[in-house]
Amino acid sequence: MVSTDAAPRQGSEVREYQNLIGGKWVPAQSGRTFQSLNPADTEEVVGVFPRSGREDVIAAVDAAKSAFASWSRTPAPGRADIILRAATLLESRKEEVARLMTREMGKVLEEARGDVQEGIDMGKYMAGEGRRFFGETVPSELRDKFAMAIRQPFGVVGLITPWNFPIAIPTWKTFPALLAGNTIVFKPAEDTPACAAALVEILMEAGLPDGVLNLVAGYGEEAGQPLVDDERVRMISFTGSAVVGREVAARAGRGLKKVSLELGGKNPIIVMNDADLELALEGALWGAFGTSGQRCTAASRLIVQRGVLDEFTKELVARTRKLRVGNGLDPDVDMGPVINAEQLEKIHSYTQIGQHEGADLLIGGKILDGREYSRGYFYSPTIFANAGYRMRIAQEEIFGPTTVILPVDDYDEAVQVANSVEFGLSSAIYTRDVNRAFHAIHDLEAGITYVNAPTIGAEIQLPFGGIKGTGNGHREAGTSAIREFTEIKSVYIDYSGRLQRAQIDTE
């Protein structure tokens, strides 16, 4: 977890960051700060950040509100030009930002580069939408009358983002919100504020006017909650845990704000007897242990038909044993640390829960504590087998490098098990039967379904989000992102020169 007291490594220079409010970089009004630590080496302080409070959030909302009139009147293609410049700048600094991400969040450098690339792609995609920005034109029932629907911004929006994709997810929210003409107060996760600052600096360098984007670093209860509560903030976009998401929805609901929630997942990969087993194994390994399992789309359940169960299980354990855990900057490392001490303990507690429930621990289940792991938060890749699908390890989101193999007899049982959890984000099935694949697309209760691919790997040009406990029905990415950050206004233009009354019987 982010520390407020850790000292920087002897002889190192630590950057002191500030909030961005109204185009000026300023400290927290309280003067308090906190530190962001490298989860692979907690003696390294990535940066010192303002520990913002209510007064800082109020100032940021003031600035965003003042900037709204001018920004919302800027033509959408002009707003898009700034987003495109930001995407180009991010592309030119991809390696620099990726290395910062690995130091601050822990994911291996190859994955960090992918995270940044997703932000680049989102910027270019949204820039293109600046010359589309579709509304609707429809025929009127009356003569000499024109009818259309247009999209307009909310005003000030609050963006609260998680630590696991500290560039990609902020761009999913920031770029469409800006394109739509909103102004922003951005509160990043306290574990990854340096990545957020890097993105904001790029947007300002790209020419974003003062006050349009405001950054406040800090903790959820101290900075996030005042942002949700401020009556001038008309929309909240939140990605994070289901527990916090429900609290955000409840608080924002009292102000009748629009709330977009992207919460948890407990995602299944179904492996049928006719699957390409090599392909399924590669997908399961990547889906379960990519980003150390710290993805809302991670494959935390492997639902395997009994005809291939033994072979699949044996080979998956063998491949997992070969994974090297360590500092993500090391090119030979396959899996980095988890984000902080609290998450490390949570992950290990689920290992203990699984063993208590009677599941077989096939590999892993340990906090790694050898010399190379002594200064970081490292957990061994973990696989459970012979588990019941109602066990807690098969129902609750762990958000770590833990997956559970669940045997089934047939397709119908596989779907039943897949749909048995409260979440509904991503899902996957491996099969060579095209008919079964199309049945799965229909039958699986999820916002995303992959056929012969793992549960991770969404692309920015399609909507991203889930059903059931994963959120409240909203979607990010694709053209859905623009819909999320706009309100609809219906417009009627009567050029008949006389009163015409719709829905009146004129006969």
The yes-or-no verdict on residue 345 having pLDDT over 80 is yes
Choose the weakest-confidence range: 109-113, 370-374, 391-395: 370-374
Predicted TM-score (pTM) of this structure:
0.94
Helix (H, G, I), strand (E, B) or coil at 211: coil
C-alpha closest to that of 407 among 386, 393, 391, 378: 386
HSE, side-chain direction, 13 A CA sphere, residue 202:
29
Which pLDDT belongs to residue 505? 61
* pLDDT confidence tier of residue 134, bands split at 50, 70 and 90: confident
Task: Please report, for residues 101, 111, 169, 196, 496, the alpha-carbon distance to residue 329 in angstroms, rounded to integers and kept in the order given.
Answer: 10, 11, 22, 20, 69
Helix (H, G, I), strand (E, B) or coil at 444: coil
Task: Please report, for residues 296, 366, 434, 446, the alpha-carbon distance to residue 442 in angstroms, rounded to integers and kept in the order given.
Answer: 22, 38, 13, 10
The yes-or-no verdict on residue 1 having pLDDT over 80 is no
CB-based contacts of 196, cutoff 8 Å, min separation 6: 161, 166, 170, 186, 188, 215, 217
267-451, which class in CATH?
alpha beta
Specify the residue for token string 């003569």: 143
The yes-or-no verdict on residue 193 having pLDDT over 60 is yes
Choose the weakest-confidence range: 345-349, 381-385, 479-483, 499-503: 499-503
Choose the weakest-confidence range: 3-7, 101-105, 223-227, 437-441: 3-7
The yes-or-no verdict on residue 422 having pLDDT over 70 is yes
The yes-or-no verdict on residue 313 having pLDDT over 50 is yes
* pLDDT confidence tier of residue 4, bands split at 50, 70 and 90: very low
The yes-or-no verdict on residue 7 having pLDDT over 70 is no
Which pLDDT belongs to residue 133? 86
End-to-end CA distance of the chain: 73
158-174 pLDDT, tens digit each: 999 999 999 999 999 99
Which pLDDT belongs to residue 507? 55
Task: Please report, for residues 204, 272, 293, 381, the alpha-carbon distance to residue 23 in angstroms, rounded to integers and kept in the order given.
Answer: 8, 55, 37, 44
What is the CATH number assigned to the segment(s) 19-263+471-489?
3.40.605.10
259-293 pLDDT, tens digit each: 999 999 999 999 999 999 999 999 999 999 999 99
Asked if 347 and 288 touch (Cβ cutoff 8 Å), the reply is: no
Which pLDDT belongs to residue 11? 42
Which pLDDT belongs to residue 506? 60
Would strands 267-271 and 258-262 be described as parallel, antiparallel, or unpaired?
A: unpaired
Task: Please report, for residues 62, 80, 124, 200, 459, the alpha-carbon distance to residue 86 in angstroms, rounded to integers and kept in the order given.
Answer: 25, 10, 9, 9, 20
The yes-or-no verdict on residue 10 having pLDDT over 70 is no
Backbone angles phi, psi at 355, to 5 degrees: -65, -40
459-505 pLDDT, tens digit each: 999 999 999 999 999 999 999 999 999 999 999 999 999 999 987 76
Average pLDDT of the residues in 7-33:
86
Which residue intervals of the chain bear CATH 3.40.309.10?
Answer: 267-451
Helix (H, G, I), strand (E, B) or coil at 216: coil
- Alpha-carbon distance 57 to 298, whole Å? 33
When the pLDDT of each residue in the chain is averaged and rounded to a whole number, the result is 96
Would strands 24-26 and 19-21 be described as parallel, antiparallel, or unpaired?
A: antiparallel
Which residue intervals of the chain bear CATH 3.40.605.10?
Answer: 19-263+471-489
Specify the residue for token string 């997942």: 265
Choose the weakest-confidence range: 4-13, 116-125, 192-201, 465-474: 4-13
The two three-digit tokens of residue 200, written as one number: 């904001």
291-307 pLDDT, tens digit each: 999 999 999 999 999 99
The yes-or-no verdict on residue 154 having pLDDT over 90 is yes
Q: Any idea how long the chain is?
A: 507
Hey, what amino acid is at 298?
A
Average pLDDT of the residues in 32-45:
98
Which of the residues are catalytic? 262, 296
- Alpha-carbon distance 9 to 7, whole Å? 7
- DSSP E strand stretches across 355-494: 360-363, 382-385, 402-408, 423-424, 426-430, 448-451, 467-468, 486-494
